Structure 1
């Protein structure tokens, strides 16, 4: 296998209904000192930024474009001019983070952009109130309210990572639900219906194969990635690995596989890494050109050329918390 054979697992082998699975923010207020009803603090910096929109110019626009680029969005250049490319990037951020998609960078959007620019998606402390009892409505992307928050609390309490328990069913909540569905062999649609609720109500933290020390486990059958700390599953992520299909690259045919075995992380790129098959977001390599990396599409099935995809938001959290340092064990099975 060549170094680049599985390096850049960027293109879906088959069409996926689960696109643009990025981090949902959760910062939903503009107050500097107050806490929102969902329990999230808005950075003080967000209150000092000017409102920016199509046609705005200057250093604030340049700052916005720089932070968008650092967060993996593409404003079309860093020129200090709020043009159509910057507006499209802002709308994408707003959609990915559960905000109103108006293309205007106000306080709520600035709060998210500031976090993207800092390279951090570590959420504030999760509320510890018990989930409310009663009926369990069907929940899906776009759902809001107490039932969503109860679901999010239960997910995080048992190690299924998402960006925060704010009562809004965004992309990272869907990713966490899909990870539960994969773990228990349910339909992988990211929708919390009766069968998924039945598992959520009895949810426990999944056991890892690693019984001591720290490791990252990649379960190819279930298509989940586990961060193991001190012999215990700390976090579970939805992942998509090698599709098993053939593809043509570098003058010859290859098979998209993620080889099993034990490896060590050895190289990382803190940003977008361009290769023969596309761009990887903040990849951490463990087997030649095979890496754990962020990508907007993390479908329910194996779809990569060999790498292990997680959402861009998940990858940002992995970096922020140093869950995948160099020389850490990676166990693929």
Structure 2
């Protein structure tokens, strides 16, 4: 069943000189670029009351953009009975704890079997919400907390809060190498120039800010806590690789196994056998979009990360050095 929508926003002064399609993409992030293009070409977009079908039209800042269109259900996505670990739920949203090996959204190479397919099964009405209510994503092998909106107004408010950096996301990770102190990484991220499926620090990319602090030292690894200000694709993995401390198990970004000198066969096997990036979304905090109450959720660190951390901890105790 189609849903009639009207979206209205003002072009920001900072968008001066942008193409109309670029401006719309920044203003209405809860919808995909392909959908923006469809609406533009179909004459559903007005700029200061005038219908336009020109994606390349320049904006000056201050214009009122109005989109009036019908939002079709995403029928191409199949509802699938995939279990969800629900941490919290009310009429407007739910918070889930995503396991490893689960992709969030269908895409190239993963047409189904995702969090989105599971949401469509457990909450059929969520088909009326763009991307089945998904507000932010986690990589396939990253575990932990995600918030999902059950209706369009909630999703719009949560996306806006995310853009304004009012949603706090903290992660637990194990990095390769000896990190001496915490800090902040403020480096833009864009597509990798050679490997198109990966991201990289790129001065032409989008702004990205990651805060990190050392939680525990091991001989050749460091357990860290991180907090995102922005939410770029693979942000933590890219920023840590940029610091030359890629995450344990993250082969894509250079996380080749590093075995401490004299390590036991058991620890060596555990390090070499750790087959995903050691990254877990451990805490999520935001103001509820309906009543404004501050809400905070925690997800326990998964067993595989607990076990490898304990093995590294034992190794550190058995091989004392002056500093770690």
Q: In which range does the TM-score fall when normalised by the shorter chain?
A: under 0.3
Q: Whose strand fraction is larger, Structure 1's or Structure 2's?
A: 2
Structure 1 or 2, whichever has the larger Rg, is 2
TM norm structure 1 = 0.24
TM norm structure 2 = 0.25
